[in-house]
Amino acid sequence: AQKVTQAQTEISVVEKEDVTLDCVYETRDTTYYLFWYKQPPSGELVFLIRRNSFDEQNEISGRYSWNFQKSTSSFNFTITASQVVDSAVYFCALSRALNTGNQFYFGTGTSLTVIP
């Protein structure tokens, strides 16, 4: 079975602080995809990153960086120098590599509040 755990329910940081959102996943598949999405108050899920199980290279995009470690089944997300606009709920998700379509397994989300 597939499962994603985001142990941090809510995090508050002061603007310009760095913050790391944790994600731990479970799957028996050897091929799978991992994702991070941001959900602002407007409701839509905004895609941030996708990683496949064979690509453990860490990635940096501006103030965002992701650390994928298969050995610990973790895919953590760090925001450097946080800003108020980063306030949102962040979801980590896992999907099996199905040729017949998608089925995301989402974590329960981490609500991030950046205090000015």
**Is position 14 an interface residue for other proteins (rule: CB under 8 A)?**
no
**Is position 42 an interface residue for other proteins (rule: CB under 8 A)?**
yes
**Is position 50 an interface residue for other proteins (rule: CB under 8 A)?**
yes
Extract the tokens encoding 70. Answer: 């298969």
Give the residue, chosen from 25, 33, 36, 90, that forms a contact with other proteins under the rule CB under 8 A. Answer: 33
DSSP β-bridge partners for residue 13? 114
**Is position 57 an interface residue for other proteins (rule: CB under 8 A)?**
no
**What's the rounded Cα separation, in Å, for the pair 106 and 40?**
16
Extract the tokens encoding 64. Answer: 């965002």
**Is position 25 an interface residue for other proteins (rule: CB under 8 A)?**
no
Site of interaction with other proteins (CB under 8 A): 33, 37, 42-47, 50, 91, 93, 95, 97-109
